[in-house]
Homo-oligomer: A and B are copies of this chain.
Amino acid sequence: MTKTDTAKNDAFDLQDFLPYLLNRAAEESSLEFQRAYKDRYGMLRTEWRVLFHLGNYGEITAKEIGERARIHKTKISRAVSKLELRRFLTRTPSERDRRVEHLKLTPAGKAAYRELCGIARQYDAKLAAMFDEDEAALLRKMLQKLAEMR
């Protein structure tokens, strides 16, 4: 379809707008992987993110997860509760500061993490294979930069 007057005037193409492209690519690329944790474990995105952070970084607090992944504390709080219910993690109140809780994966949590890691690695490889190796590396670098800005 050709563009109309309103568009020609300022030559703006939605299909080139970076935030739009990033959102579309993110949604699209999340879909397939989402099925893995949703169908298998009934997990939500925030939950696997918390799970992955714990698996990746070991014992850590809710606040630290929120800072790293830029997730709001209420979302984390609810995700942690659900993961605790499913016996995927345990909380230990900190000795030094009783407001803080240290979170840690249980063996079941680690098992889930490992399985999802495998699926994630495979899926990531599949996505990366859409590009040349050096292009994919550059893509990761640029996305990291965009994710870290502010």
A residues sitting closer than 8 Å to B (CB atoms) are: 1, 3-4, 6-7, 9-10, 12-30, 33, 45, 49, 52-53, 55-59, 69-70, 105, 110, 113-114, 117-118, 120-121, 123-124, 127-128, 130-131, 135, 138-140, 142-150
Contact A19 B10 (CB under 8 A): no
- Establish whether residues A124 and B17, one from each chain, have CB atoms under 8 Å apart when the complex forms: yes
- Report copies per complex: 2
| A6 to B10 alpha-carbon distance, docked (Å) | 52
SS class, residues of chain A in contact with chain B: helix
Chain B residues in 8 Å Cβ range of A121: 10, 12
Which of B3, B6, B113, B127 meets A18, CB within 8 Å?
B127
What CA separation (Å) do A12 and B57 show in the bound complex? 11
Pairwise interchain contact B21-A30, C-beta atoms closer than 8 A: no
**A30 and B25 form a contact (CB under 8 A):** no
20 residue pairs A–B, Cβ–Cβ below 8 Å: A1-B58, A4-B56, A4-B59, A7-B57, A10-B114, A10-B117, A12-B117, A12-B120, A14-B53, A16-B140, A18-B128, A19-B120, A21-B140, A22-B29, A22-B30, A24-B147, A28-B150, A130-B142, A130-B149, A139-B142
